Amino acid sequence: MDLDGADRRMIEEVMLAGLRAAVLLRGVMLQKVDRETLEWGLAELRAGELLERHLSRLVENPEWVDLLNILHLLYSLEGQLDYQVREYGMDSLKDDLQEINASLHRIGELFDLPATRQAV
């Protein structure tokens, strides 16, 4: 796929946010990251800003569905963390981690980004 500079920057921004989120969530699974740190880390990813900035371009191209998926997951996770943890416990974050990792893997293959093909 031919990408212009703006597309590459968008992909890099979303991938970096996804990778950082995966590291945070993995830390939760390993009981190295507490809930307060997770909340702070998710807020620092600024998924809402990224979603707002890139949404119009992401919905134009069906090949970018995994980029959009990552941003939706992060945005939802940040906004619904209290509810999710209260209703389902911290272990429920494992599903989010698996979904983020799967999207990162598919993006890595689609855009030939070898470092992202490995699950965090």
Q: How far apart are CA 22 and CA 63, in angstroms?
A: 21
- pLDDT, one tens digit per residue, over 17-49 is 999 999 999 999 999 999 999 999 999 999 999
Q: How far apart are CA 31 and CA 48, in angstroms?
A: 27
Mean pLDDT for the chain overall:
90
Per-residue confidence (pLDDT) for residue 117, from 0 to 100: 46
Residue with tokens 């990792």: 101
Which tokens is 50 given? Answer: 């990224």
Q: How far apart are CA 85 and CA 92, in angstroms?
A: 7
- pLDDT, one tens digit per residue, over 43-89 is 999 999 999 999 999 999 899 999 999 999 999 999 999 999 889 88
Reply yes or no on whether the pLDDT at 114 is more than 90. Answer: no
Nearest to 85 by CA among 27, 47, 36, 20: 36
